[in-house]
Amino acid sequence: MTALIALISRRSLCLGALVALSLIGTGGAMGQTSPTTPATVTAPVTVQPLALEEILARADEDQELLSQVGRLLAGPDPVTAMSPTLDAITRSVDSQARLASVGDLRGVPVMRLESLARQWAFNARRFSRWEASEQRAFSPYADQAIRLAQRRAVWSATRAQGILDGLPPVLTQRVDSILQQIEASEAALSAALSRQDALKQRAGMLKARLQAGETATADAIDRIDRQLLRLDVPPLWSASTWTSHTNARTAFDAADQGLDIESQFASDYHAAGGSNQDALKLVQFLLVPLIGWLAFEVRRARQTASSTSVARALRRPLSTWLLLSMLAVLVLEPDAPLLVEEFVLLIALIPALRLLPGGIVRQLGGWPYVAVALYVVDRMGVAVVGDASLYRLFGLGLACMALALTLWLLHRARASTALSQPGLMRFVRPAASVVAILLAIAVVANVIGNVTLAETLTSGVIDTGYMALVLYAAVAAIVGIAGALVARPAVAGRRFFVRHSGSLRRIGTRALMMAALVGWLFYAMTRFRVLRPLYRAGASIWELGIDVGEVSIHIGDVVVFVFATWLAFWSARGLRMLLREELPRYASLPRGAGNSIASLTYYAILILGFLLALSAAGFKVSQLALIFGALGVGIGFGLQTVVNNFVSGLVLMVERPIQPGDVVDVAASSGTVRAIGLRATVIRTFEGADVVVPNGLLLSGNLTNWTMFDRTRRIEVIVGVAYGADPGKVIEVLLTAAGSTPGVSEDPKPSAQLIGYGDSALQFALRAWTHDLGALGDVRSDLLAHTLAAVDAAGIEIPFPQVEVHLRAPMAPE
């Protein structure tokens, strides 16, 4: 018995050690690059033996556990499924290492280093996804091994206490069978964990290589950026410049090897998939029917003359689709291989020229064609990139040609009369002057030996000029498509678009131009090698702030909070405007429901945006709950009136006794409801004043709504006639006058009654109705005029008030 217990303990110890190794996985390999932490000594856990009444139930549980382990071991081996992906990542890393060793990247061009950095980042992301999959696939084995070890320890402690000695033989045999099955399952799990541990060791070494490669490549790029103002080769007139040449075969082999690596990177990138690639495919797929349908509709409706941008974008649907699809690649795949990026920009070349607005082409003259030609010539330099001397001469010739063309076009533009007209040329002339200065600096830098700076300036000028052309053409195409969509009858007939079409067009165009400008600035900063240092400086400024206990305020958090709040405010405002314009068109909605929905949506978006802004700024939900709880206590004591008004505002929006446009009498004010807010309602009086009435007062006081169900209003005119007039005739005359008055409704009909005997006249009341509440004053005036004319025409006298005064002489004294 003692020997069996010792054997069980040794097996449990070995399996526990193997499980521990499998759990730390890549930690062994990465431990070389991180400082070791002191081991924590923990006290051994005391295993409690089973009670006699628990043995049967535990045996059933362990039998089920063994069945689960058996099903796990009978399934596919995760090592077999995970190994091919790890092998593919390893092959990609090996190809990167063949380009240049980690310790020797000084001779690699900066563009190749940029591509290498993207490839390192891509493989690091692939490895992260593989690591997450590996954790999900391998963790059940380690978990089951730990559970088996724990169950074995419990059974061992139970046997050691002699509790199993008094059991019937059948139960003893069952326990022995369970222990044997646990031993066999542990052996099988040990083999599986050994294979998994070997794969994890490989993954750990690969992760270390990835980190080292990323660090070395980033350091090499930073070193080049720091040395932009230093001479890196002898001057052009130096003899050593012409004596050192790279073997043509070697240069060709290096270029061919680099192209193979780039091609493999592109293939691996697209084979890896991802959410951004799925989004790109969806965008490109949806653009096909959208552009095709709009092009067909525009041609069928002969609308090409209505808008130049719509005509150009939809007369050339293939160019529009190609340009927007290529732009989507640049936007949705910013981390794509440089080979893919260059291929995309080359495809966009012809569509960009075809989609440029005609007016812009006339203003710019030959600038677009020069930009495209220089971009194409610059890309031809890849053929001589392997020979440093030849590539230097190519760069010098390209810079001189670009400088000459720029000066020639600038001279033509200054001599042209088109410059007297406002337009894009106002911005092109100073930009061309800056380009000429940069190209002149590039020529001088190439001659004196700073080839890196010369290449950066020349390629930066050419690439940014071409990118500006592509982005401008893309914005014109998007504006054309949007114009065609808005021109559709289903959209153009909507009240919101009818009233705000001009402002919407301006805002949309400005937003597109701003987005294009931001994208161009990022691209320009990348090409001129200033994005990395600016990013590091911005990150440092972004993290500036103060930390007091658990409260931390940083500049980045404040900027995020302000931007998120601003975005939520304008989004809520725009949506409220849209809902207020469109919802009243639906007759199925109850009265005032459109305004209530718009207002509640506005406040809901504001509150949600404010909470998201606080969360983005670093506030935790628990902290927000504490703050709102404290505010609730303060509100309960000191802001009861404000809370009452807010709650009343919600009641007004739900019950809808009034809506904007209603004519009401409330709080000694009469006028038209302009806006219903969450705290107060604004009423425009008939005198032109705006009265702000708290919502609590609207609900607690008497509220008269003259237009709650309709806009019908009664007009009452009091007429006094002389005693002796025939009442029937007077009533007939009054009704005739009311019937002939414009604006008086026929249903309900006017009515006239004798209402009393005055001091000097019989009092009649003429009551008429009008459905046009806005013309109430005019209708009342016309009714008074018609009544007076009718009474005069009928010979009925309207008496003046008369007072008889009797004077009596005072009595003579006796």
Answer whether 583's CB lies under 8 Å from 550's CB: no
SS3 annotation, 243-262: HCCCCHHHHHHHHHHHHHHH
- For the cut 70, the answer to whether the pLDDT of residue 240 exceeds it is no
SS3 682: strand
Element (H or E) spanning 510, and its range?
A: helix 495-527
How many folded domains does the chain comprise? Answer: 5
Residue 466: per-residue pLDDT? 92
CATH number of domain containing 753: 3.30.70.100
How far lies 638's CA from each of 632, 635, 651, 814, in Å? 10, 5, 22, 82
Last residue of a domain, one of 668, 692, 707: 707
Same domain assignment for residues 628 and 643: no
Please check whether residue 445 is in contact with residue 454, taking contact to mean a CB–CB distance below 8 angstroms: yes
pLDDT number for residue 42? 46
Query: 468-487: per-residue pLDDT in tens?
Result: 999 999 998 898 888 888 77
- Answer yes or no: do 629 and 653 share one domain: no
Q: What digits encode the pLDDT tens for the residues 333-369?
A: 888 888 888 889 999 999 998 888 877 777 777 788 8
| From 223-227, 348-352, 782-786, the region with the lowest mean pLDDT | 223-227
Do 18 and 124 fall into the same domain? yes
Domain termination site, one of 226, 255, 279 = 226
Residues 465 and 495 in one domain: yes
With vertex at residue 611, the alpha carbon angle to CA 607 and CA 613, rounded to the nearest 5 degrees, is 115
Would you state the structure tokens that stand for residue 119, as one six-digit string? 């490839």
d(CA 637, CA 545): 35
C-alpha–C-alpha distance, residues 459 and 551, integer Å:
47
| DSSP character string of 23-51 | HHTTHHHHTTTSPPPPPPP-PPPPPPPPP
Give 55's pLDDT tier (boundaries 50, 70, 90): confident
- Is the domain of 352 the same as that of 301? yes
Checking if the pLDDT of 253 tops 50, the result is yes
Indicate if 731 and 745 belong to the same structural domain. Answer: yes
In this prediction, residues 769-786 reach a mean pLDDT of 85
Do both 297 and 445 map to the same domain?
yes
| pLDDT, tens digit (0-9, with 9 covering 90-100), for 278-301 | 888 899 899 999 888 888 877 776
Mean pLDDT of the chain: 79
Please tell me the predicted confidence (pLDDT) of residue 483.
Answer: 80
Are residues 244 and 210 part of one domain? Answer: no
CATH label of the domain that carries residue 701? 2.30.30.60
CB–CB of 66/187 below 8 Å? no
Domain that holds residue 66: 2-32+44-226
| Domain assignment present for 754 | yes
Q: Are residues 426 and 530 in the same domain?
A: yes
